[in-house]
Amino acid sequence: MNKENGRANMKVMVVIDESECSYRALMWVLDNLKESIKNLPLVIFAAQPPPKCNYVVSSAFGPACICPLSATMDLFNSVQQQNKKVALGILEKAKRICASKGVTVEAITEAGYPKEVICDAVQKCGVSLLVIGDEANGNIKRALLGSVSSYCVQNAKCQVLLVRNKA
């Protein structure tokens, strides 16, 4: 944390995606940390997940299965560019929300597995506090699949704040 004029200033990063819980996290920061982020831009981060190249095969003799598709580079690049467009659109929406509250932002997007690129961005940007909206997926699903928020709590090199849905 930087000390400037006796006031604590944190570099805060909010992870944003198309989910309602990520926008709830953004609004929580804007409502509750405005004084802390007054002298530093709020970092808004959107991950661009890697393309998933799968297809489904159905059979009249048994259940359908998902098989990996050997994607051409053109298909891979096309999906990757589409993911980037989506991420940039999400960032634009978040920037408009922040501007309406008088908060300056630094918008960042990276391609890769979300949990890994988020933790990498924390280090690259020198973030003091990472804020993530926590989707209520349930303990069984979280145990089997893991979650981005759980990974970040364990691996981010800063404090992590999970903003949960109001019950």
Closest CA to 81 of 39, 51, 124: 51
Which DSSP string do the residues of 42-101 spell out, in sequence order?
EEEEEEEPPP--EEEEEETTEEEEEEE----HHHHHHHHHHHHHHHHHHHHHHHHHHHHT
Q: Which domain holds residue 150?
A: 2-164
The Cα–Cα gap between 56 and 90 comes to: 29
Write out residues in the chain with pLDDT < 50, as ranges: 1-7, 56, 141-142, 144-145
Res 127: pLDDT: 95
Res 118: pLDDT: 96
Res 5: pLDDT: 43
The Cα–Cα gap between 149 and 165 comes to: 14
Task: Name the pTM for this structure.
Answer: 0.79
Q: What is the DSSP letter of 14?
A: E
Q: Which residues, 6 or more positions from 99, have their beta carbon under 8 angstroms from its beta carbon?
A: 105
Res 146: pLDDT: 60
The Cα–Cα gap between 116 and 100 comes to: 31
| CATH number of the domain where residue 24 is located | 3.40.50.620
The count of structural domains within the chain is: 1
What's the pLDDT tens digit per position in 10-54?
899 999 998 898 999 999 999 999 888 888 899 999 999 887 655
**Phi, psi angles (nearest 5°) of residue 46:** -125, 125
- Paired with 107 in beta bridges are 44
